[in-house]
């Protein structure tokens, strides 16, 4: 299911994690060539992504919010 990004936080390793409207979290790493999310490395890019939708695997699995 697609869920809107409501904000971001960093995990203990410094990787960016999107907070989703459903209450789940999802890593949003930029690790080319496999994962291309250059917008996540800047504050302006992350701010522009708020409201965009990501596929939430946890919702698909029926997991409760975190």
Q: Block means of pLDDT (10 residues each) for the chain, length 66 residues?
A: 97 95 94 88 96 96 92
Q: Show the 3-state SS of the chain.
A: CEEEEEEEEECCCCCEEEEECCCCEEECCCECCCECCHHHHCHHHHHHHCCCEEECHHHHCCCCCC
CATH of the domain spanning 2-57: 2.40.50
- Tokens 């409501």 — which residue? 6
Q: What is the pLDDT of residue 53?
A: 97
Amino acid 41: pLDDT: 92
Task: Give the pLDDT confidence score for residue 31 in this predicted structure.
Answer: 84
pLDDT value of position 35: 86
CA distance 13 to 1: 27
Give the pLDDT confidence score for residue 5 in this predicted structure.
Answer: 98
Q: What is the pLDDT of residue 45?
A: 96
């Amino acid at each position: 299911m697609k869920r809107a990004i409501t904000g971001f936080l960093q995990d203990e390793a410094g990787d960016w994690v999107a907070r989703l409207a459903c209450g789940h979290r999802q890593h949003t790493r930029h690790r080319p060539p496999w994962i291309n999310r250059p917008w996540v490395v800047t504050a302006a890019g992350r701010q522009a992504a708020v409201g965009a939708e990501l596929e939430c695997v946890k919702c698909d699995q029926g997991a409760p919010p975190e």
